[in-house]
Chain A
Amino acid sequence: MSTPVLICDDSSFARKQMARALPSEWDVEVSFACDGLEGLEMIRAGKGDVVFLDLTMPNLDGYGVLETIQKENLNAMVIVVSGDIQPDAQARVQKLGAMDFIKKPIDQEKAVSILEKFGLL
């Protein structure tokens, strides 16, 4: 069965870049969300077993999404993909339950190595 993957980013350019970085051999069903609220809805609907999550977004940012996932105990493996590369930002999202952190601009090798690390490929 295909893995439901959610790409949550307010930039359509960034969503496309992320989608392109996913390895073609990975059997996935990709959905897109353009802010945190929409992202949460899709996660609740089971469309985000694996989530690539941006941090700076309108309405609800990535931190808010992570907090809600923890609070509601939602089933989602979250990998944060952000331009905020401050070590503090990485520490904060890891504390909030994110599995890993990819710096923007995305490079495919990094994405693949993280997916392999967690046995997703």
Chain B
Amino acid sequence: MTNQLITEDQRDCYQELSNVAMGQAADRLAQLLEAYIILPIPKINIIAPCDLHMALSGVDSEDKASSVCQGFIGSGIAGEALLIFNDTSFSDLASLMKYKGELDDQTQLELLMDVSSVLIGACIQGIGSQIDVSFSQSHPVVLGQHVSVANILQDEHTHWDQSLTVEIHYTIENMSVDCELLLLFTEDSIAKLNQRIDYLLD
């Protein structure tokens, strides 16, 4: 689903850049977890952030999840990365990360932060390097633990009308680890992003 803010060629290019960036991020995570990360085809949407929960294909909006968000900015392009972990992921994630002991909220939080720093950082930098933008990242913020995906998304982004959204649904082979990485570029960034994309398409 796109609209007049990006052309089909641009959408295709965003998808391919995301594909490369997501692969780089998955490679880092695979090394950390010593597991094989299954890569999907990234989805590109132009969507109002408050409608995001309806557009997600990888998670059910009623599922209980835990989430981290992290802002990024560079060359006049800004956005937020959101990593949403289905709560059912944590026991397998803990065993992959060789965490011992009780899987309490604090441990889950640590797992969430460890994985998000790898995935978000690598993905943002992966996109940046392809469009020649060096993104600075803010500190990650926990949006919630054990709350519904719909709540996470609705509370967070009511202030932009439209955003360019990259949705990547990561799963791990033979494990019930299930997470959704969303990159939301602000409406104001889209024209500048398109300029850089057009340069690549030339």
Residue positions of A touching B, CB distance < 8 A = 10-14, 55-58, 82-89, 104-105
State how many angstroms separate the Cβ of B201 from the closest Cβ of chain A.
Answer: 7
Given contacts A13-B9, A13-B200, A14-B16, contact A83 B130 (CB under 8 A): no
Which residues from B are CB-within-8-Å of A105? Answer: 20, 130
- State whether B13 touches A13 (Cβ < 8 A): yes
A5 to B63, CA, bound (A): 47
Q: Is B148 part of the contact surface with A, judged by Cβ < 8 Å?
A: no
A56 near B40 with CB under 8 A, answer yes
In the complex, which residues of chain B have a beta carbon less than 8 angstroms from the beta carbon of A10? Answer: 41
26 A-B residue contacts at CB 8 Å? A11-B15, A11-B16, A11-B19, A12-B9, A13-B200, A13-B201, A14-B16, A14-B19, A55-B39, A56-B19, A56-B39, A57-B41, A82-B23, A83-B21, A83-B22, A83-B23, A84-B39, A85-B24, A85-B27, A86-B26, A86-B30, A86-B37, A88-B30, A89-B36, A104-B19, A104-B20
A85 to B39, CA, bound (A): 11
Q: How far apart are the CA atoms of A104 and B39 in the complex, in Å?
A: 14
Interface members, chain B 137-152 (any A CB < 8 Å): none
In the complex, the answer to whether A58 meets B41 with C-beta atoms within 8 Å is yes
Chain B: interface residue total (CB-CB under 8 A): 22
Chain B residues lying within 8 Å of A14, measured Cβ to Cβ, are 16, 19
Q: Which of A13, A87, A88, A89 contacts B16 (CB 8 A)?
A: A13
B interface: dominant SS = helix
Contact of B12 among A13, A82, A83, A89 (CB under 8 A): A13
B23 touches A85 (CB 8 A): yes
B30-64 residues with Cβ-Cβ distance < 8 A to A are 30, 36-37, 39-41
Known: A11-B16, A13-B12, A13-B200. Contact between A56 and B41, CB under 8 A? Answer: yes
Cα of A105 to Cα of B20 in the assembled complex, Å: 7
What are the residues of chain A within 8 A of B23 when measuring CB–CB?
A: 82-86, 104
Q: Residues of B contacting A88 with CB < 8 Å? A: 30, 36
Across-interface contacts of B130 in A (CB, < 8 A): 105
Is B12 within 8 A of A86, CB to CB? no
**Cα separation A11 to B19 with both chains bound (whole Å):** 10
A86 vs B130: C-alpha distance when bound (angstroms): 19
List the B side residues contacting A58 at CB < 8 Å.
41
- With a cutoff of 8 Å between Cβ atoms, the chain B residues found around residue A84 in the complex are 23, 26, 39
Of the residues B13, B20, B30, B36, contact of A83 by C-beta under 8 Å: B20
Check A11–B20 contact: CB distance below 8 A. Answer: no
Give complex CA distance A40, B50 in Å: 42
A85: B residues at CB distance < 8 A: 23-24, 27
Chain B residue nearest to A55 (CB atoms) is B39
Excluding A11-B12, A11-B16, A85-B24, 15 further A-B contacts by CB distance (< 8 Å) are A11-B15, A12-B9, A13-B16, A55-B39, A56-B19, A56-B39, A56-B40, A56-B41, A58-B41, A83-B19, A84-B23, A85-B27, A86-B23, A86-B30, A86-B37
